[in-house]
Amino acid sequence: MTLVSHVRLRDFVVEVLGCLSVPLPDATTTADCLVSADLEGHASHGVIRLPFYANRLRQGLVTPQPVMRVIAERAAAATLDAGNGLGPVAGTRAMELAIAKARHTGVGVCAVRASNHLGALSYYVKQAATQGLIGLSVTNTPPAMAPPGGRQPFLGTNPIAAAIPTSSHPIVIDLATSQVARGRILAAARAGEAIPQGWALDAVGRPTTATGPALAGSLVPLGGAKGFSLALLVEILSSLLSGAGIGPEVSGTFAPSDQPSNVGHCMIALDPAAFGGGFLSRADQLCLGIRSAPAVDAATPIRMPGDRALRERTDRELEGINLPEPVIADLRDLAATVGATPVA
């Protein structure tokens, strides 16, 4: 493992993307998104993704300087064509649009098409929560889950995230609709580790703990058919609303592809003030009630969603981020390829 400060890591990502003609504001947004994931313990959505982003940019499969435009709009809704730009840039712009609309109408929704891998969804919903709004975010991903009873993946892991403001730090919910995010299997494969039973099936539908057969096969839906139904709902909100790719039409966010990804997202912001006063005090009461519930182990306090990520961020901002040697090697190779200063 190599310890790298989050500031150095963020600067490295900005430099690499700049070498690939990404404008500084967009490079900074993307760097912040990736490094935030590493800070919060979501390594599968952190800088491990940078070489893949860079390769797509170098191949012309992601547009470094996209023209993003609103192609449909009403008072509380909009559709953003992301121009095949980087996902974190599109996601941030979409949530900004949703927040602006929620300020006027109480609710803001922005659907996105022609985008790319979004990274950790928690990054976007916290944009809303830090401004006192409830943030919701969904995105589709390339096929990874077969329908119940099927063998061939059709829908992606299609995650769902939400952030709810309180008088202190927000409640942050971020989960895949598969048993685990595919990125965790990619991270295990990169580290040469097996995966737990129950995460994935091989190409003929048998349970597997090997990453190769898992990546060639199908992920297990969260809660069986219920998880697939949630993934279907995410697909509808992400792709049907926006006109993005549907199911197998989505590509190139975790595996080689010679086509634009055409990922779809949906960002939603709700202003609690539009529904009456006292929301923050009730949110605090909810958190206090859950935290005060009797614990199975008194030495292990009950946590709210987002607590662990906040603690890990605080620790890693002080101590640095430990990156596995295979990741460091990939980042050094990337630096040499694009002409950037090695990260470590």
Q: Tens digit of pLDDT for each residue in 193-244?
A: 999 988 998 888 888 999 989 888 889 999 889 999 999 999 999 999 999 9
In this predicted structure, what is the pLDDT of residue 327?
A: 93
- Separate counts of helices (H) and strands (E) for the chain: 11, 12
Judged by average pLDDT, the poorest of 7-16, 155-164, 212-221, 266-275 is: 212-221
Among 165, 163, 164, 195, which residue's Cα sits nearest to residue 178?
195
Tokens 């023209």 correspond to what residue?
67
pLDDT tens-digit series, residues 231-284: 999 999 999 999 999 999 998 766 678 899 999 999 999 999 999 999 999 999
In this predicted structure, what is the pLDDT of residue 253?
A: 67
In this predicted structure, what is the pLDDT of residue 44?
A: 87
What's the mean pLDDT in 164-185?
Answer: 91
236 burial level (CB within 10 Å; 0-12, 13-18, 19+) = middle
Write the Ramachandran bin of 318: left for phi over 0, alpha for psi from -120 to 50, otherwise beta: alpha
For residue 104, how many C-alpha atoms fall within 13 Å in the half-sphere facing its CB? 11
Instruction: Indicate if the pLDDT at residue 290 is higher than 90.
Output: yes
pTM of the model: 0.92
